[in-house]
């Protein structure tokens, strides 16, 4: 069984040895844009990120499984993969904890007005702030109840929040008080103090969050996007930040890097980070556990035969 591993995963020597003992013949490809190190028609499984942006998946005639190193599926031809019954694994489990922590951190920065105190510290100014908000007791709506959404729900619950989800096919509903169907999104948002987007980018989710959706959000609420930028209409978001919602926590944008001309840079009620919510000192160790678990499941289930 030939396994192609690209530079998207820094596979350890120990992991390589375990894979080879399990029966994988490993081939390494440091740069996904470079030439393939093996004939594509001999590859049974691949661990990659953007490999099929640069190489035609149609040439991989024996391919039975793909393990991505990203949480999202927007860099692979999902329609082709489904049509050919290729198993597809994401790596959301590897990033759910740091993303959830980043979300909580951003909301708390807005609620506790961290920027105000940071600026006063620079100026050596002692000034109390009487408009600080409390997170505990707030209603939180998470749109997208996969591994990232579920872990985020658990952390919000630990703060004493009431957490609801929106998802037609949630993996696990135990972290949510109730999960609404996608066509009930407006009902879910109308009473939510915090709205979090963790859905994948696909054609039906392009600009899922637009003027209409912002229009039904609870006035004074906080909006968080850690999924993909194109899920949100950024022009509509900027309008909502100026007229309806309290603030936004944004880690992803429709065009990255975010243009220096974007209005979002200068809005005072925005916590803005450069697509790094997933980053953690534990990333590589956790990612390796996720990948190895999925690869060994292929052996156990005879999925590569």
Task: State residue 164 phi and psi, 5-degree precision.
Answer: -120, 155
How many whole angstroms separate alpha carbon 46 and alpha carbon 4?
5
Which one is catalytic: 151, 228, 234, 254? Answer: 228
Task: State residue 301 phi and psi, 5-degree precision.
Answer: -95, 5
> Is 256 one of the annotated active-site residues of the chain?
yes
Sequence length of the chain is 305
Cα 162 → chain centroid: 22
Task: State residue 208 phi and psi, 5-degree precision.
Answer: -55, -40
3-state helix, strand, coil in the chain (%, to 5): 40, 15, 45
Neighbours of 103 (CB within 10 A): 27
Residues 6+ apart with CB under 8 A from 300: none
Which one is catalytic: 275, 282, 288, 305? Answer: 275
How many whole angstroms separate alpha carbon 161 and alpha carbon 154?
10
Which one is catalytic: 256, 261, 282, 305? Answer: 256
Helix (H, G, I), strand (E, B) or coil at 102: helix
Task: State residue 96 phi and psi, 5-degree precision.
Answer: -65, -40
How many whole angstroms separate alpha carbon 156 and alpha carbon 196?
11
Cβ–Cβ under 8 Å, residues 239 and 263: no
Task: Enumerate the active-site residues.
Answer: 228, 256, 275
């Amino acid at each position: 069984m030939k396994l192609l591993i690209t530079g998207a995963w820094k596979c350890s020597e120990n992991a390589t040895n375990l894979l080879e003992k399990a029966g994988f013949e490993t081939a390494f490809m440091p740069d996904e844009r470079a030439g393939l190190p093996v004939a594509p028609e001999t590859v049974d499984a691949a661990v990659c990120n953007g490999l099929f942006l640069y190489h035609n998946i149609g040439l991989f005639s024996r391919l039975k499984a793909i393990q991505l190193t990203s949480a999202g599926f927007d860099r692979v031809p999902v329609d082709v993969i489904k049509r050919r019954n290729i198993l597809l694994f994401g790596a959301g489990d590897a990033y759910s904890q740091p993303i959830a922590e980043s979300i909580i951190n951003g909301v708390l920065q807005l609620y506790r007005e961290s920027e105000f105190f940071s600026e006063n510290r620079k100026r050596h100014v002692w000034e109390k702030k009487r408009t600080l908000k409390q997170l505990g007791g707030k209603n939180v709506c998470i749109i997208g109840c996969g591994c990232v959404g579920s872990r985020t729900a658990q952390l919000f619950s630990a703060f004493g929040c009431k957490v609801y989800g929106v998802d037609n096919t949630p993996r696990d509903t135990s972290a949510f008080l109730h999960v609404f169907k996608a066509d009930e999104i407006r009902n879910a948002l109308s009473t939510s103090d915090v709205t979090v987007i963790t859905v994948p980018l696909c054609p039906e989710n392009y600009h899922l969050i637009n003027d209409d959706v912002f229009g039904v959000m609870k006035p004074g609420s906080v909006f968080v996007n850690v999924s993909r930028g194109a899920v949100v209409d950024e022009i509509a978001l900027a309008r909502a930040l100026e007229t309806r919602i309290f603030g936004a926590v944004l880690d992803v944008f429709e065009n990255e890097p975010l243009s220096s001309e974007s209005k979002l840079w200068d809005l005072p009620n925005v916590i803005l980070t450069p697509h790094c919510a997933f980053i953690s000192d534990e990333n590589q160790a956790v990612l390796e556990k996720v990948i190895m678990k999925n690869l060994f499941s292929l052996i156990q289930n005879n999925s590569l035969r």
